[in-house]
A and B are shown apart, each in its own frame.
Chain A
Amino acid sequence: MTNSFKHRALGLLAALAIAPASQAWEGKTFKVCADPNNLPYSNQKGEGFENKIAELLADELDLELEYTWFPQRMGFIRNTLKAEVEEGKGKGYKCDVIIGLPTGAEQAATTQPYYRSTYALVIAKKRGWDDIESPEDLDKLSDKQKAKLKMAMFDGSPATTWLLNHKLLDGSIPFQSMDADATISTAERVEQALKSGKLDMAIVWGPIAGYLETHNKGAFEVIPMHSEQGVKFEFPMSMGVRIPDKERKEELNKLIEDNQRKINKILGKYKVPLVDADGKLIDD
Chain B
Amino acid sequence: MIKPVKSWLLASSVAAMLAAPGMSQANAEVAALTQDNSSWATWGKDYAGTRYSPLTQINKDTAKNLQPKWTFSTGMLRGHEGGPLVVNGLIYIHTGFPHKVYALNQDTQSVVWEYNYAPDAGTDPQQVIGVMCCDVVNRGLAYGDGKVFLAQGDATLVALDAKTGKVVWKAKNGDTKQGMTNTNAPLVVKDKVFVGISGGEYGVRGFIAAYNIKNGSPAWKAYSTGPDAEMKINPEKTMTWTDGKMAPVGKDSSLKTWQGDQWKIGGGTTWGWYSYDPQLNLMYYGSGNPSTWNPVQRPGDNKWSMTIWARDVDTGEAKWVYQMTPHDEWDFDGINEMTLVDLPMKDANGNEHSKLLTHFDRNGFGYTLDRATGELLVAEKFDKAVNWASHVDMKSGRPQVQTQYSTQAGGEDHNSKGICPSAMGSKNEPPVTFSPKSKLIYIPGNHTCMDYEPFAVEYTAGQPYVGATLSIYPAKADVQTGQPTPDRLNMGSFTAWDPTTGKIAWAIDEPFSLWSGMVSTAGDIVIYGTLEGYLKIRDANNGAELYKFKTPSGVIGNVSTWEHKGKQYIGVLSGIGGWAGVGMAAGLEGESEGLGAVGAYKSLGAHTKLGGVFTVFALP
CB <8 Å contact, B203 and A176:
yes
Query: How many contacting A-B pairs (Cβ < 8 A)?
Result: 142
A230 to chain B, nearest CB (A): 6
Distance between Cα atoms of A188 and B129 in the complex (Å): 23
Q: A74-B130, A87-B77 are in contact. List 20 more A-B contacts (CB 8 A).
A: A35-B462, A73-B461, A74-B131, A75-B133, A79-B129, A102-B464, A105-B458, A105-B459, A106-B456, A156-B297, A156-B460, A170-B259, A174-B261, A174-B262, A174-B264, A178-B202, A186-B462, A230-B296, A232-B466, A237-B464
Residue picked from A106, A170, A183, most chain B C-beta under 10 Å: A106
Distance between Cα atoms of A156 and B291 in the complex (Å): 9
Q: Please tell me if B112 contacts chain A, counting CB pairs below 8 Å.
A: no
Contact status of A73 and B460, CB under 8 A, knowing A155-B292, A176-B202, A180-B178: yes
What are the residues of chain B within 8 A of A87 when measuring CB–CB? 77
Contact status of A155 and B265, CB under 8 A, knowing A164-B296, A178-B202, A180-B131: yes
Map CB proximity to A onto B263-300 as digits: 1 under 8 Å, 0 otherwise: 01100000000000000000000000001111011010
Distance between Cα atoms of A237 and B448 in the complex (Å): 34
CB <8 Å contact, A181 and B177:
yes
In the complex, which range does the number of interface residues on chain A fall in?
35 or more
Q: Please tell me if A38 contacts chain B, counting CB pairs below 8 Å.
A: yes
Distance between Cα atoms of A78 and B130 in the complex (Å): 10
CB <8 Å contact, A105 and B457:
yes
What are the residues of chain A within 8 A of B127 when measuring CB–CB? 71, 180, 182
Residue picked from B260, B291, B457, B462, most chain A C-beta under 10 Å: B462
Contact status of A102 and B459, CB under 8 A, knowing A164-B259, A180-B176, A180-B177: yes
Map CB proximity to B onto A229-240 as digits: 1 under 8 Å, 0 otherwise: 010100101000
Q: Please tell me if A101 contacts chain B, counting CB pairs below 8 Å.
A: yes
Which residues in chain A, 19-46, are within 8 Å of chain B measured between CB atoms? 35, 38, 41
What are the residues of chain B within 8 A of A270 when measuring CB–CB? none
Residue of A nearest to B176 (CB): A180
Residue of B nearest to A70 (CB): B130
CB <8 Å contact, A205 and B463:
yes
CB <8 Å contact, B296 and A161:
yes
What are the residues of chain A within 8 A of B465 when measuring CB–CB? 156-158, 177, 232
Closest 4 CB pairs of A and B: A180-B179, A102-B464, A181-B177, A235-B464
Which residues in chain A, 40-72, are within 8 Å of chain B measured between CB atoms? 41, 70-72
Distance between Cα atoms of A101 and B457 in the complex (Å): 10
Distance between Cα atoms of A154 and B265 in the complex (Å): 10
Which residues in chain A, 76-121, are within 8 Å of chain B measured between CB atoms? 78-79, 87, 100-106
Name the contact of A157 in the complex, choosing from B177, B457, B463, B469 (C-beta under 8 A): B463
Residues of A whose CB lies within 8 Å of any CB of B are 1, 35, 38, 41, 70-75, 78-79, 87, 100-106, 153-158, 160-161, 164, 169-183, 185-187, 204-205, 207-208, 230, 232, 235, 237
CB <8 Å contact, B462 and A41:
yes
CB <8 Å contact, B294 and A161:
yes
Name the contact of B412 in the complex, choosing from A172, A181, A230 (C-beta under 8 A): A230
Q: Please tell me if B126 contacts chain A, counting CB pairs below 8 Å.
A: yes
Distance between Cα atoms of A207 and B582 in the complex (Å): 33
Which residues in chain B, 401-419, are within 8 Å of chain A measured between CB atoms? 411-412
CB <8 Å contact, B202 and A160:
no
What are the residues of chain B within 8 A of A1 when measuring CB–CB? 126
A245 to chain B, nearest CB (A): 18
Distance between Cα atoms of A181 and B297 in the complex (Å): 24
Which residues in chain B, 465-514, are within 8 Å of chain A measured between CB atoms? 465-467, 469
What are the residues of chain B within 8 A of A74 when measuring CB–CB? 130-131, 133, 201, 460
Q: Please tell me if B199 contacts chain A, counting CB pairs below 8 Å.
A: yes
Which residues in chain B, 58-87, are within 8 Å of chain A measured between CB atoms? 77
Distance between Cα atoms of A274 and B262 in the complex (Å): 32
CB <8 Å contact, A181 and B469:
no
A98 to chain B, nearest CB (A): 10
CB <8 Å contact, B292 and A102:
no
Distance between Cα atoms of A174 and B292 in the complex (Å): 10
CB <8 Å contact, B297 and A208:
no
Distance between Cα atoms of A104 and B465 in the complex (Å): 12
What are the residues of chain A within 8 A of B292 when measuring CB–CB? 155-156, 160, 177
What are the residues of chain B within 8 A of A41 when measuring CB–CB? 462
CB <8 Å contact, A101 and B461:
no
Residue picked from A41, A87, A179, most chain B C-beta under 10 Å: A179
B271 to chain A, nearest CB (A): 15
A145 to chain B, nearest CB (A): 16
A3 to chain B, nearest CB (A): 14
Distance between Cα atoms of A25 and B299 in the complex (Å): 49
Contact status of A179 and B461, CB under 8 A, knowing A155-B291, A169-B260: yes
CB <8 Å contact, B260 and A158:
no
Distance between Cα atoms of A172 and B298 in the complex (Å): 13
Contact status of A153 and B262, CB under 8 A, knowing A180-B202, A230-B411: yes
A207 to chain B, nearest CB (A): 7
CB <8 Å contact, B261 and A173:
yes
27 sampled A-B residue pairs with Cβ under 8 A: A70-B130, A72-B459, A73-B130, A79-B129, A79-B130, A87-B77, A106-B469, A155-B297, A156-B292, A156-B293, A156-B297, A156-B467, A158-B466, A170-B259, A171-B260, A173-B261, A176-B203, A177-B292, A177-B461, A180-B177, A182-B130, A183-B177, A186-B462, A187-B462, A204-B463, A205-B464, A232-B412
Residue of B nearest to A98 (CB): B459
What are the residues of chain B within 8 A of A235 when measuring CB–CB? 457, 464
What are the residues of chain B within 8 A of A175 when measuring CB–CB? 265
Residue of A nearest to B299 (CB): A164
What are the residues of chain A within 8 A of B179 when measuring CB–CB? 176, 178-180
CB <8 Å contact, B203 and A104:
no
Residue of A nearest to B177 (CB): A181
CB <8 Å contact, B262 and A72:
no
B590 to chain A, nearest CB (A): 12
Residue picked from A100, A103, A160, A185, most chain B C-beta under 10 Å: A160
CB <8 Å contact, B130 and A75:
yes
What are the residues of chain A within 8 A of B264 when measuring CB–CB? 174
A70 to chain B, nearest CB (A): 7
Distance between Cα atoms of A114 and B25 in the complex (Å): 67
Residue picked from B201, B260, B459, most chain A C-beta under 10 Å: B459
Distance between Cα atoms of A181 and B202 in the complex (Å): 10
CB <8 Å contact, A169 and B259:
yes
What are the residues of chain B within 8 A of A156 when measuring CB–CB? 292-294, 297, 460, 465, 467
Distance between Cα atoms of A270 and B452 in the complex (Å): 37
Residue of B nearest to A87 (CB): B77
B291 to chain A, nearest CB (A): 6
Which residues in chain B, 149-197, are within 8 Å of chain A measured between CB atoms? 176-180
B379 to chain A, nearest CB (A): 31
What are the residues of chain B within 8 A of A38 when measuring CB–CB? 461-462
What are the residues of chain B within 8 A of A79 when measuring CB–CB? 129-130
What are the residues of chain A within 8 A of B458 when measuring CB–CB? 102, 105
Name the contact of A72 in the complex, choosing from B412, B461, B466 (C-beta under 8 A): B461
